[in-house]
Amino acid sequence: MAKINFGGVWEEVVTSDEFTLSRAQEVLKGETVAVLGYGVQGPGQALNLRDNGIRVIVGQREGGATWKKAVEDGFVPGKTLFPVEEAAKRGTIIEYLLSDAGQAQMWPILKPYLTKGKTLYFSHGFSITYREQTGVIPPPDIDVVLVAPKGSGRSLRVNFLDGSGINSSYAIFQDATGKATDKTLALGIAIGSGYLFPTTFEKEVFSDLTGERGILMGALAGVMEAQYNVLRKNGHSPSEAFNETVEELTQSLIRLVAENGMDWMYANCSTTAQRGALDWKGPFRDAVAPVFDRLYESVRSGEETRIVLSVNNAPDYRKKLNAELDAMRNTEMWQAGAAVRALRPENRKR
């Protein structure tokens, strides 16, 4: 492990310099990684593992769209692509990558195949942390581990093909074989992680649910809507309001933050922008801090989990979700966004 100073706090991280791909291949030699679920994380992890020389099979409901996607990606029915139960039976490492609600539903079917010495792998701490709600309680004679990429499965794959990686957290919930840590780090390197940092199942899910509902998606969308609406209310055109709210952020400023940090981005903006941003950063922080406190407590208490499991298990879930997404898509703000994106030079050439 390498010790890195994160803003005055020293943390231990694992990179491919300390835990090489060849070492990962040696650790996983003789293992069969069964990736159950080929939706969000499944394709990226399965393809990266396969490209890195790890024996991988996919378990998916036969005949559906994701089954067809796995076939398109080169997994062969009866050889490397199987129904979920058959894949679980064949696998020695079970990557449980179904949706959180799907994991709870599938658990009674999967559990008989978790025989002594196998490894149960998650990329989210949800099912284990809230096991009293999900019913996902592993048998005591298997390893239970986590590698959670801090990005989508698509990004994991794209970055891998570009020669970079998505940073991942890792955790050990249960080490029945005494080899859980090596297997976890090997899997983390083999799926293409940029670097790995330690966490717990509980901390992973608390931070993940807070982040999704907060700055990554919920807060970001909400703050964008608020600014757009203020600009429109004060007579600005949809094009101007969208460009000042979304386009400049996504096409310019956030890239500078990603490359060099917020301080560098501030230092390379106009003095007018610098002064205003510095003056207003605090009021915005203080305004949303109570919302984040309420959000974190809702995550910690299990209330967010209760909502997810209740809503996602409803028979009309997909219909209601599509209605909500359609409502967002059809707002003036995101209709303006579609028009702005169509005017980008790369899209006008098509």
Per-residue pLDDT band for 236 (boundaries 50, 70, 90) equals very high
- Which domains does the chain possess? 2-199 (3.40.50.720), 211-348 (1.10.1040.10)
Q: DSSP 3-state assignment of 88?
A: helix
User: How distant is the alpha carbon of residue 254 from its chain centre?
Assistant: 19
pLDDT reported for residue 151: 85
Query: What integer pLDDT is reported at residue 112 of this predicted model?
Result: 97
What confidence tier does 194 reach under pLDDT thresholds 50, 70, 90? confident
Is the model's pLDDT at 6 over the cut of 90? no
pLDDT of residue 232: 97
The β-bridge relationship of strands 193-198 and 166-174 is parallel
Evaluate if residue 116 carries a pLDDT over 90: yes
* Distance, first Cα to last Cα, the chain: 48
pLDDT at 348 over 80: no
The pLDDT assigned to 54 comes to: 98
- AA letter at 305: T
Looking at the predicted structure, is the pLDDT value of residue 79 above 70?
yes
The SS3 of residue 277 is helix
209 residue type, one letter: L
Question: Averaged over 37-51, what is the pLDDT?
Answer: 95
What is the average pLDDT across 111-138? Answer: 96
8 A C-beta contact, residue 76 and residue 58: no
Q: 98: which residues sit within 8 A by CB, 6+ positions away?
A: 36, 37, 39, 106
Q: List the catalytic residue out of 50, 124, 157, 232.
A: 124
E-strand stretches of 97-186? 119-122, 143-149, 166-174
- What per-residue confidence (pLDDT) applies to 285? 96
The confidence score (pLDDT) of residue 346 equals 82
Residues 36, 95: Cα–Cα separation, whole Å: 6
> Per-residue pLDDT averaged across 307-325, rounded?
92
The pLDDT tens digits for 81-98 are 999 999 999 999 999 999
Place of tokens 């400049």: 248
Using the predicted structure, report yes or no on whether residue 322 has a pLDDT greater than 90.
Answer: yes
- In Å, how far are 1, 187, 204 from 17, measured between CA atoms? 9, 15, 24
Mean pLDDT of 29-57: 96
pLDDT tens per residue, range 257-296: 989 999 999 999 899 999 999 999 999 999 999 999 999 9
pLDDT of the residue at 247: 95
pLDDT exceeds 80 at position 1:
no
Point out the least confidently predicted range of 59-63, 65-69, 197-201, 346-350.
346-350
pLDDT category at 147 given cuts 50, 70, 90 is very high
Q: Length of the chain, please? A: 350
**CA–CA distance, 308 with 310 (Å, rounded to integer):** 6
Q: What is the mean pLDDT of the chain?
A: 94
DSSP percent split of the chain into helix, strand, coil, nearest 5: 60, 15, 25
Q: What is the pLDDT of residue 143?
A: 98
In SS3 terms, 174-188 reads as ECCCCCHHHHHHHHH
Q: Is 41 exposed, middle or buried (0-12, 13-18, 19+ CB in 10 A)?
A: buried
Q: Is 236 a catalytic residue?
A: no
Residue 180 and residue 172 in contact, taking contact as beta carbons nearer than 8 Å: yes
The predicted structure's pLDDT at residue 241: 96
Compute the average pLDDT of residues 151-176.
Answer: 93
If one counts every other C-beta atom within 10 angstroms of the C-beta of residue 158, the result is 14
* Cβ atoms of 209 and 296 closer than 8 Å: no
Q: How far is residue 194 from each of residues 11, 27, 54, 91, 186, measured CA to CA in Å?
A: 16, 19, 18, 26, 13
Q: What is the pLDDT of residue 350?
A: 63
Residue 5, pLDDT > 80, answer yes
Residue 205 near residue 125 (C-beta atoms within 8 A): yes
Q: And the tokens for 66?
A: 């994701």
